Chain A
Amino acid sequence: MSQPLSRQQHLDLYYFMQLNRQLEDRMVRLFRQNKIVGGLYSSLGQEGVSVGSAYALEKRDWMAPMIRNIGALLVKGVPPRDIFTQHMAKYTSPTKGKDGTSHFGDLKNLHIVSPISMLGDLIPVMTGVAMGGRYLGQKIVTMTWIGDGGSSTGAFHEGLGLAASQRAPFVLVIENNQWAYSTPVSRQVPVKNLADRAVAYGIESDVVDGNDVVAVYTAAKEAVEECRAGRGPRIIEVKTMRMRGHAQHDPAEYVPKEMFEYWKARDPIARYEKYLTENKIWDAKTKSEIDARIERELDENQKFAEDSPLPPAETAATGVYCDGCHAIEAEWKRPKGEVTPPRSSADASWKVPSFGALDSASGGNGAKSSAAPQVSTSEAPDSPRVPFGRGPKDKAFLAEQQAKAPQRHQHAPKHSPRKRGR
């Protein structure tokens, strides 16, 4: 299990949540001054989700944000000026004005994949990053977020199916903010918890209070560690609330007033401030120091963005193709000899345990899931060599699997006792 958070880590979580909120608050003002190009999407009330989950990742790990995961970008190391310049379509933005909002990435340093507006597509993509990282021996974990709305897409299910069948070290945070634009969850998905869908993929899941940043962090940390140990993928559903409309233009009149009130009383930052005070992790002086730092940083970053130019028109026609502008080289963290002949050579045939029969002792299709690891390692594998990346003769892994087997319930999602509210 993961270590309890240190004082500094507790303060980090506050810093990033407050930075997230203040940054977006400034962008609302910029929007009203017509300085934001296009739409503005708020993550007000969801800061605990972005910050808590991304904080569980290491520097080497990869993530892909959604539009409301500004906090995750900040945690991963993106400076606020990048968020400002992106929204203002400035030439100094990470995409040089080619795209806006959280739609940018960084392959080399921060390991961030840019989202697209079509939801769900990042799930197979981050599954691929996870598979690729394992292949290269990088021991990375990947993470992305999907809303309650996006969990209805085909890409969501195709991606999860592949991730589960590959046991990819991939964490999916289902950010249930109750609304897909104007449609409530109950009209989209007829299950109690979105995390229940994990059962269908034979993977483990967790349901946590998304407005409790420590709970989100703790669940994410466990999921990341499980994935890194080869027991991925994992789903975490966080229950939270979108406290604004879909975007600035939307007054969200379809949301019951009482619902806003309910969640306002559970604001993640106010709750966390109380928690820090009650647990004597900080005092008023520390808070005002952090708040002043945020104010100062945002002043500087916002000024940089406002002073930056728009991109020159002639750059519109550039950059469609990579014509040698990028040197593409994989970073190998394992000997290449392991993946090249003769060591890579395999027996090209399948073995099907119990022949898929209904009445056989093991039952079902013989697939191994992370929720129900194989009982005996002497059982015939259902693929020529599994687990990928660990080698067929990795005794340590097999021992781990055996040790873990009796602790888990077959075909039952594991929900965390951290579940609150609702």
Chain B
Amino acid sequence: MATTAAAAAAQVTMLEAIRQAMFEEMDRDPSVVALGEDIGVYGGAFKVTEGLLARFGPERVIDTPIAETAIVGAACGMSFLGLRPVAEMQFIDFIACCFNQVTNFAAKSHYLWGAPVPLVLRGPSGGGVRGGPFHSANPEMYFVHTPGLKIIYPSTPYDAKGLLKSAIRDNNPVLFFEHKFLYRRIKEELPKDDYTVEIGKAAVRRPGRDLTIVSYAAMVHTSLEAAEQLAKEGIDAEVIDLRTLLPLDKEAIFASVKKTNKLLVVHEDTKTGGIAGEIAALVFEGAFEDLDGPVARVAALDTPVPYAPTLEEAFLPNTEKVVAAARELAKY
């Protein structure tokens, strides 16, 4: 770890890491512009874009009407001129309002008529903060089912910054999910120099021998906690953080399954149609011989995200649920 000088460098939250990525990319490249609701003068509902307006001015930091289709449509139009717009959904739940613009326009442009759409659509997602059914969603799988998009959902400040920079420099429409439960809860020391994290590569967060837990976003931390508990019971779990859902790093999953022979997928998204099903199918197709047991899933209930703390706790996966599933799987 760090020397004294580096240790003195500030510990940075995920929110601050994302803000830094925006600042640095806008500083580096005047073709990067930001637009969204309340992102300028107010600095964004979560203050991710705070200070951007003062530094880069209203031509580059554009406060828009509450009109998600207009925001994404305008971002597409800007991108056709070689600009690299970063559009914010105030809450990622609101991406439902511009579903058509994202899936039929942005995602299909390159395939159909050879027009790259280098835009980033970012916003706070996920539950556990008592946001209720319209401010807690994990709508990533609507879009994982859309060829032409890239989907990023990081779990650490380092990855959030590096992946957002990669997303801004990418030539494709990228959806960047920011788990709001993690915004201010985890801190990390970041490199002083410019760095990026490659899109489409998973990371091994904890090496292990007995079983593989594949997860992403906030559930990576839940899975790591579970792995620590499992270790006390003599079960050595490997935890893989997908980081990118589209394209999915199949090789990283296969490599881990080859080693542990058991796979548990944990996600905060609801179970039916969640990425665990897709991963299970991939493993059946590509690594069936390596499996010693069924692919297990821990996911949210197939319901909207409920409001009351007791209900939301019941809805969300947690450490206990992951430990219980892993224990069962380890028996094979």
Min Cβ gap A267→B in Å is 33
- The residues in B between 82 and 115 inclusive whose CB is less than 8 angstroms from any CB of A are 82-85, 100-101, 104-105, 108-115
Known A-B contacts A322-B171, A331-B81; the reply to A345 vs B69 at CB < 8 A is: no
Q: Which of B33, B56, B74 has the most CB of A within 10 A?
A: B74
The reply on B65 being an interface residue by CB < 8 A is yes
- The residues in A between 115 and 139 inclusive whose CB is less than 8 angstroms from any CB of B are 116-118, 121-133, 135-136, 138
As a 0/1 sequence over residues 12 to 38 of chain B, the CB contacts with chain A under 8 angstroms (1 = contact) are 000000000000000100110100000
Chain A residue numbers with a CB within 8 Å of B33 are 135
Q: Which of A117, A339, A349 has the most CB of B within 10 A?
A: A339
What separation, in Å, do the CA atoms of A125 and B69 have in the docked complex?
9
Chain B residue numbers with a CB within 8 Å of A336 are 30
The one of A94, A99, A136, A344 in contact with B55, judged by C-beta atoms closer than 8 angstroms, is A344
Across the interface, do A350 and B70 meet the contact criterion of CB distance under 8 Å?
no
As a 0/1 sequence over residues 136 to 174 of chain B, the CB contacts with chain A under 8 angstroms (1 = contact) are 000000000001101000000000000000000001100
The reply on A158 being an interface residue by CB < 8 A is yes
| Chain A binding surface SS class | loop
CB nearest to A157 among chain B residues: B67
What separation, in Å, do the CA atoms of A348 and B115 have in the docked complex?
35
Chain A residue numbers with a CB within 8 Å of B80 are 62, 107, 113, 125, 128-129, 132
The one of A94, A130, A321 in contact with B172, judged by C-beta atoms closer than 8 angstroms, is A321
Across the interface, do A383 and B58 meet the contact criterion of CB distance under 8 Å?
yes
Across the interface, do A341 and B55 meet the contact criterion of CB distance under 8 Å?
yes
Across the interface, do A154 and B69 meet the contact criterion of CB distance under 8 Å?
yes
Chain B residue numbers with a CB within 8 Å of A340 are 27, 30, 56
Min Cβ gap A63→B in Å is 12
Which listed segment binds B: A10-18, A47-55, A159-167, A297-305? A159-167
What separation, in Å, do the CA atoms of A350 and B58 have in the docked complex?
12
Tally of A interface residues using CB under 8 Å: 67
The reply on A95 being an interface residue by CB < 8 A is yes
Chain B residue numbers with a CB within 8 Å of A323 are 171
Min Cβ gap B26→A in Å is 9
Across the interface, do B104 and A133 meet the contact criterion of CB distance under 8 Å?
no
Chain B residue numbers with a CB within 8 Å of A99 are 112-113
CB nearest to A391 among chain B residues: B59
The reply on A239 being an interface residue by CB < 8 A is no
Across the interface, do A135 and B73 meet the contact criterion of CB distance under 8 Å?
no
Across the interface, do A131 and B78 meet the contact criterion of CB distance under 8 Å?
yes
Known A-B contacts A94-B113, A105-B113, A113-B77; the reply to A124 vs B70 at CB < 8 A is: yes
The reply on B220 being an interface residue by CB < 8 A is no
Across the interface, do B101 and A155 meet the contact criterion of CB distance under 8 Å?
yes
The reply on A1 being an interface residue by CB < 8 A is no
Min Cβ gap B39→A in Å is 11
The one of A124, A126, A385 in contact with B57, judged by C-beta atoms closer than 8 angstroms, is A385
As a 0/1 sequence over residues 59 to 86 of chain A, the CB contacts with chain B under 8 angstroms (1 = contact) are 0001000000000000000000000000
The reply on B11 being an interface residue by CB < 8 A is no
CB nearest to A62 among chain B residues: B80
The reply on A320 being an interface residue by CB < 8 A is yes
What separation, in Å, do the CA atoms of A328 and B78 have in the docked complex?
12
Across the interface, do B65 and A161 meet the contact criterion of CB distance under 8 Å?
yes
Known A-B contacts A161-B67, A330-B82; the reply to A384 vs B41 at CB < 8 A is: yes
As a 0/1 sequence over residues 87 to 110 of chain A, the CB contacts with chain B under 8 angstroms (1 = contact) are 000000011001100011101000
Chain B residue numbers with a CB within 8 Å of A133 are 81
What separation, in Å, do the CA atoms of A384 and B55 have in the docked complex?
12
As a 0/1 sequence over residues 258 to 271 of chain B, the CB contacts with chain A under 8 angstroms (1 = contact) are 00000000000000
Across the interface, do B113 and A103 meet the contact criterion of CB distance under 8 Å?
yes
Chain A residue numbers with a CB within 8 Å of B104 are 116-118, 121
Chain A residue numbers with a CB within 8 Å of B182 are none
Across the interface, do A339 and B72 meet the contact criterion of CB distance under 8 Å?
no
Across the interface, do A155 and B69 meet the contact criterion of CB distance under 8 Å?
yes
The one of B59, B74, B113, B150 in contact with A114, judged by C-beta atoms closer than 8 angstroms, is B113
What separation, in Å, do the CA atoms of A161 and B67 have in the docked complex?
8
Chain A residue numbers with a CB within 8 Å of B30 are 336, 339-340
Chain B residue numbers with a CB within 8 Å of A116 are 104-105, 108
Known A-B contacts A128-B76, A384-B58; the reply to A161 vs B113 at CB < 8 A is: no
Chain B residue numbers with a CB within 8 Å of A138 are 81
Chain A residue numbers with a CB within 8 Å of B128 are none
Across the interface, do B77 and A127 meet the contact criterion of CB distance under 8 Å?
yes
Known A-B contacts A105-B113, A326-B116, A344-B57; the reply to A124 vs B81 at CB < 8 A is: no
- Please report A residues at the B interface, Cβ cutoff 8 Å: 62, 94-95, 98-99, 103-105, 107, 113-114, 116-118, 121-133, 135-136, 138, 142, 154-155, 158-159, 161-162, 165-166, 319-324, 326, 328-331, 336, 339-341, 344-350, 383-386, 388-389
Q: List 23 A-B contacts (CB under 8 A).
A: A62-B80, A99-B113, A104-B113, A105-B113, A113-B80, A121-B105, A124-B67, A124-B69, A124-B70, A125-B73, A125-B74, A128-B75, A128-B78, A161-B67, A161-B70, A323-B171, A326-B171, A328-B84, A339-B60, A340-B56, A345-B54, A345-B55, A349-B41
- Please report B residues at the A interface, Cβ cutoff 8 Å: 27, 30-31, 33, 40-41, 43, 51, 53-60, 62-65, 67-85, 100-101, 104-105, 108-116, 118, 147-148, 150, 171-172
In order of increasing CB-CB distance, the 7 nearest A-B pairs are: A128-B77, A124-B73, A128-B74, A330-B82, A344-B57, A158-B67, A132-B78
